[in-house]
Structure 1
Amino acid sequence: MERWLALELASTIRHDGDGGVADDLATIEDATRWIHEQDGLLPAHIQPGKLTADEDLRQDIVELRGAVRALFARAVSPAPPSPADARHLMPAEKALAHLNTMAAREPVAPQLEWPHEGTPAARLLTAQDDPHISLTATLARATIDFLGGPQREQLRACTAPRCVRYFVKSHGRQEWCKASCGNRARAARHYRRHHTAAEG
């Protein structure tokens, strides 16, 4: 399954397995762990495997996540947003302004690299020497690319009981982010049908 950095950021809010919501960015250590887990998705100049979060960076990422989830909610509308933050979403215009401001913090120039015996590859050249700014700007640009691309049309909020994730629909009848959510949703439907029939 393809991984998108914007979706990874939005998914740091997740079901905790006990009926509640877990936050993968709750502490500085959590934020550092999450950054390290994105090693394959983040550009090499950030060196995510060596990056350690501080409270300012953690707060920047959490605020950016709030903007991303607000814009994801807008993207899936008129379907309902994720129940995790449906009641306290950042206003869409504020989310859009925040996303664009964060993306602009790191001026970049696309560069083409084409080895003599290889295939061409594009990379972004930056003069930014603060990896924290580079990281948040990269997360914002990844969200812009995601929401400005074709995958936005397939973005969904999982409808399984207690799930709070967004996912990209990969086939026609997909309703849930993963198989376990589908099993939970079917079990809940089965319970409701039999409970209603027993009452009638």
Structure 2
Amino acid sequence: MSGPLPSAPGEDEHPSLALINSVAELPGGRRIDELTTPETATAWLVHRDLAPAGAELETYCRDRLTRLRTDLRSVFSTRATGAALQPGALDGVNRALTSAPSALLLRHDPHRGFSRSNQHPVTQLVEHAMATIAEDAATLITGDLAALIARCEAAPCDRFYLRTHARRRWCSNRCGDRVRAARAYARRH
């Protein structure tokens, strides 16, 4: 489920980049968002092996995922462009890092006896996915690849990618072609 845009370099290996780029501005004032509903958010997680097939997210879970996306966009923007970090962004990422419960709760049913289970399986599924994404982001932002994080320079695109070549300035060939075509048009007119 790549949506209308091709994957940006690094997206396939880093779920944090994929989450950040699940919303993007397009030419003509258009905008895509791959997490508009609980169903599309579920499909996005399943496609990236962050949730099992058959999982069903609730609106609350989708909202938590989109809040993490907003926080990560601020963190990555600060890293890539030096923009000011949005208040609360680090707190949001750190909450996601520590949100996945590490222990199952002890339960008792008079007929079946004792057992252990999640407090709320769907919420825990999202918490684990968010913790995985936040861990990937923290590792990427602080690791050897941090210097390669870049923001697409083809206006109005606002996607992030890992710069795989020193001259690369765009998240995709599509954006690069659009910039080159605009330059050629400007030279002729």
TM-score range, shorter chain: 0.7 to 0.9
Partners of 1:74 and 1:11 in 2: CA distance: 16
**Alignment partner of 1:5 is 2:15:** yes
The residue correspondences of 1:1-200 to structure 2 (distance < 5 A) are 2=10, 3-16=13-26, 19-39=29-49, 42=50, 47-78=51-82, 91-106=85-100, 130-195=124-189
The alignment-based identity, stated in percent, is 28
Aligned-partner residue type, residue 53 of structure 1? L
- Higher-RCO chain (CA-CA 8 Å, sequence separation at least 6): 2
String of CA shifts for 1:91-123, please: whole Å, max 9, x gaps: 434101110111111255xxxxxxxxxxxxxxx
Structure 1's consecutive aligned runs of 4 or more residues displaced over 6 angstroms after TM superposition are none
Partners of 2:24 and 2:162 in 1: CA distance: 16
Instruction: Report the counterpart of residue 85 of structure 1 in structure 2.
Output: none
Partners of 1:138 and 1:173 in 2: CA distance: 31
Partners of 1:21 and 1:66 in 2: CA distance: 15
TM-score (norm 1): 0.72
- Whether the 8 Å contact between 1:154 and 1:168 is mirrored in structure 2 is yes
Aligned residues between the structures: 162
Alignment partner of 2:53: what SS?
Answer: helix
Aligned-partner residue type, residue 44 of structure 2? W
Return the offset for 1:8.
0.5
String of CA shifts for 1:40-62, please: whole Å, max 9, x gaps: xx4xxxx4323221101100000
Return the offset for 1:16.
5.0
TM-score (norm 2): 0.76
Partners of 2:40 and 2:34 in 1: CA distance: 6
CA RMSD of superposed structures (Å):
2.4
